[in-house]
Amino acid sequence: MKTNSKLVTVIRWLARVLAVCVFLLWGAFFVEHLQEWFIQPYPQLPPLKVCAGMALHFLLLAGLIIALRWELVGSLAVIVTAFAFFYDKAGSRFPVLFGLTVLPALLLAFCWWQDRRTATAGKGD
């Protein structure tokens, strides 16, 4: 195994662990908001803006899980939905929350790119 391949493997596992940690963090917030709006003793239909935010939040969580198996697709989903979700919800904390959330996605996308680059280089030999 080449040194580059070992480094990519380490980065990939680090990114997966980070993705699970980020999933658990934002998943806890998602469950709390579900309880607030839908599981309380007398649930009420939340405003459309809240429903849209919950949908983006759910897609963000789904993207983190998808990225564990399909790195590029999941990473793109995380980046797009995190931008849309935090742009509206985070205010001045947008750079920190967005950066924290997309870090594992960026690392996984980098690993996908390195694997693809290595595979393409191997075909030319």
State the distance between the two ends of the chain, measured CA to CA, in whole angstroms. Answer: 17
Q: Can you tell me the distance from the alpha carbon of 105 to that of 125, in angstroms, rounded to the nearest whole number?
A: 31
pTM of the model: 0.86
| pLDDT tens track, the chain, 125 positions | 455 789 999 999 999 999 999 999 999 999 998 888 777 666 677 888 988 999 999 999 999 999 999 999 999 999 999 999 999 899 999 999 999 999 999 999 999 999 988 877 766 55
Number of domains in the chain: 1
- For residue 77, count other CB atoms closer than 10 A to its CB: 20
Please give, one letter per residue, the 3-state secondary structure of 26-50: HHHHHHHHHHHHHCCCCCCCCCHHH
The helix or strand, by DSSP H or E, that contains position 61, with its residue range, turns out to be helix 48-69
Nearest to 48 by CA among 88, 78, 81: 88
CA dihedral 53, 112, 25, 61 (to 10 degrees): 30
Q: Which residues span the domain enclosing 103?
A: 3-123
Residue 1's pLDDT is 44
86 and 94 Cβ atoms separated by less than 8 Å: yes
Q: How far apart are CA 117 and CA 16, in angstroms?
A: 21
